[in-house]
Chains A and B, each alone.
Chain A
Amino acid sequence: MDAPNLIAAVQALQPDATVRAQSDRPTLIVPAHALVALATQLRDDPDLRFDLLETHTAIDWLEEDRFELLYLLTSVPHGHHLTLSVSIDRDAPLVPTVCQVWPIAEWLEREAYDLFGILYDDHPDLRRLFLEDDWVGFPLRKDYEDDFMLERPE
């Protein structure tokens, strides 16, 4: 399916989804509460079949006071791609987990928790992935500071 058809098909499933500008792949902005239902449909719909969650990560938009979560999906049988974008409040970074839809999300979400402090509701095993359990702070946040950091070049 090419990009316009893909976007139309997803918008038929979730009318609230809007196109995200400035992305080289078809990308849709989805409200957080609709994420899990849409993800399940995307995986199970025979024309879409997004069975592979290629990666999931976050972007810290510090000036806009929000985290943008990206879910990069690939359909192995159809060979098409789609990205879902979910924006959440930086002060209350809570989002439902998609572990039940794509099991690999369990690790990807743990990585996002570890480095960004995103909290995943209903995650079966939410804990740090790379850093120690008693590490303070979330290193990939733009306002992260610790004693070992060098001055940011500007």
Chain B
Amino acid sequence: MSVHVSTLQARISGESTASSPLSTEEYFVNMGPQHPSTHGVLRLVLRLDGETVREVVPVLGYIHRGIEKMGEHGNYRQFVHLVDRMDYLSALANNWAVTMVVEKAAKMETNERIEAIRTLVCELQRIQSHLLWWGVFGMDLGGFTPFFYGLRDREQICDIFEKTIGARLTMNYIQPGGVMFDIHPEFVKDVKAFLSYLKPKLVEYDALLTENVIIQERLRGIGRLSAARAIALGATGPVLRASGVAHDLRKSEPYGLYAQVDFDVPVGTDGDCWDRYWVRMEEIRQSIRIIEQLIDNIPEGKTFLVKPAAKIKVPAGIHYSHLETARGVLGVLLVSNGKESPYRIHCRTPNFNNLWCIGEMATGGRIGDLVAMLSSIDIVVPDIDR
């Protein structure tokens, strides 16, 4: 038995398979690595026949930093810092994913206050992430106004985080055993003020994009992904839910305080770009519901049950836990040999799997729709490359 290892060059220099009676010629076009709609350094090699996309070959690794290798050289507390840099729009959820697996493996306990704060900040960040996506999505479709609106309102969440955490993007706030600092005295007041500000803004958003007939016509029916294919391709998060699969770890395997709050999991029907748009807009409303139920009921308590140890020892073995970020299932696989740094640590990142769906969505479609499809997946490239 011998295994043949190919190269990118060989991959994209195949024979033309055009079957058009017009005897057209297929050609390759590079989209990226520097392209405004890839939101980072992602390269897609497109095999085109006229304007029809025949094949999408994503080329990854432009910002591969070897986070998993770095993780093997540090301790668990240091690894929490690194995962901030994967999906920077879900930094808190990333922190929590590492925290969750370390706490489960090392049997560390938390209290209700810690879990309430974690749930609250993660839901705030989900709104923040979806607001940024909404703005960028509008911009990718050719409307510049949503970008300003989305960024303007997202700023306020960043301000709330800055008051409590001191950082706006890479927060490193959720730590094994607790949270780094207690919430700012004005946190509750600020969050309430923000929610009462955001709710009328969402109506404005709907008037601007959701109810806009141009947007609806633009998005409906393109980039279809069936439920069975979405699961087979490993999609999670809004991409999977838009295809009609109500798979949300906050519901199916509740962590934090999600078991105590009431919220719905919005699902789409067609799995097209419109459904992915609609699901995210609805998720913003559901996150508001979750925050409203928790914000007045943050229990009293410490934010670290025991003084945080710099070095945590985890029993030998394989440990895995996962949670739902704004983009899907983030899992952390931890292989310990009983020492204070992991023997192997692996992150199952949502964007990596979601991006894989672009081939299924785009093949046979038009190149003009590709940007809308890519944007509807809501990719964050550092999360793919790690």
Task: Enumerate chain A interface residues (CB-CB to B < 8 A).
Answer: 20-25, 27, 51-55, 57, 59-60, 70, 72, 76, 79, 83, 94, 102-104, 106-108, 113, 115, 119-121, 123, 125-133, 139-140, 152-153
Contacts and interface: CB of A to CB of B under 8 A. Distances in A.
A59 B252 contact: no
B385 to A, nearest CB: 6
Given A79-B253, A106-B356, A128-B61, 7 more contacts: A22-B318, A54-B331, A59-B344, A104-B353, A131-B61, A133-B8, A140-B344
A76 B3 contact: no
Interface residues of B, number: 46
Contact of B331 (A51, A55, A104): A55
Interface in B316-375: 316-320, 322, 329, 331, 333, 335, 343-344, 346, 348, 352-353, 356
Interface stretch (B22-30, B63-71, B147-155, B185-193): B63-71
Given A52-B231, A104-B232, A152-B73, A83 B5 contact: no
Contact of A55 (B60, B73, B348, B385): B348
B71 to A, nearest CB: 10
B1 A94 contact: yes
A54 B5 contact: no
Nearest to A123: B3
B233 A59 contact: no
B333 A70 contact: yes
10 contacts: A21-B317, A22-B318, A24-B317, A51-B228, A51-B232, A55-B346, A83-B318, A126-B4, A140-B69, A152-B73
Contact of A104 (B105, B319, B356, B385): B356
B7 interface: yes
A51 B231 contact: yes
Contacts of B353: 104, 107
Contacts of A59: 335, 343-344
